[in-house]
A and B are shown apart, each in its own frame.
Chain A
Amino acid sequence: EAQVTQNPRYLITVTGKKLTVTCSQNMNHEYMSWYRQDPGLGLRQIYYSMNVEVTDKGDVPEGYKVSRKEKRNFPLILESPSPNQTSLYFCASSLSLAAANYGYTFGSGTRLTVV
């Protein structure tokens, strides 16, 4: 089944403790992206990647890192999480950035709470 898999689904952590949220897709998509969803703010893009070893900042990149060493994986790293990063996170992929008529496939989300 074509899908984007995120782990974990739920995570509670303490301020400053480094964490990684994994994202993997099995559709050979070139384009992958991370979003955070907050009430009243909709989806805001954190980082995106157009292909292996090519990443770029989205609208809200502060406090986050990403890497794209393999085409299928795009982990989101929070080196020193803070309470304002408490949010619902989504990974998404698409065939390629240039395939503008192609929609996104989203993961099921990771609900992160930083205390």
Chain B
Amino acid sequence: AQSVTQLGSHVSVSEGALVLLRCNYSSSVPPYLFWYVQYPNQGLQLLLKYTSAATLVKGINGFEAEFKKSETSFHLTKPSAHMSDAAEYFCAVRPASGGSYIPTFGRGTSLIVHP
């Protein structure tokens, strides 16, 4: 069984400030972890993924995430927010082996960027 919890349905930051979107997971087997971004009126697109290589993963648009097994976390960060980062962000987990490979998505976090 697996689950994903995204803390905070909305996160508000000022332009230029640090972005931190939290994702905690539970999984009975080693997980693969993903972040997706959904811009207004668009589908989701893959931002970055952790697949058991480096624990610090870099994605598109300056985002990165760090896999911390001891904390069962995969938080998404960006040093300096841009207005164009305003979007909905989804964390997802898939088991790396055994059982069902169907991913489980978090409920999403809406990032609001103020000028």
Contact = CB atoms under 8 A, between A and B. Distances in A.
B61 to A, nearest CB: 16
Given A90-B44, A101-B32, A106-B45, A42 B106 contact: yes
If over half of B's interface residues share one DSSP class (helix, strand or loop), that class is named, otherwise mixed; here it is: loop
Interface in A62-102: 90, 92, 97-98, 100-101
Q: How large is the interface on A (under 10, 10 to 19, 20 to 34, 35 or more residues)?
A: 20 to 34
A8 interface: no
If over half of A's interface residues share one DSSP class (helix, strand or loop), that class is named, otherwise mixed; here it is: loop
Contacts of B42: 108-109
A48 B46 CA distance: 19
Interface in A42-56: 42-43, 45, 48
Contact of A40 (B41, B90, B107): B107
Interface of B: 9, 32, 34, 36, 41-46, 49, 51-52, 90, 94-97, 101-103, 105-108
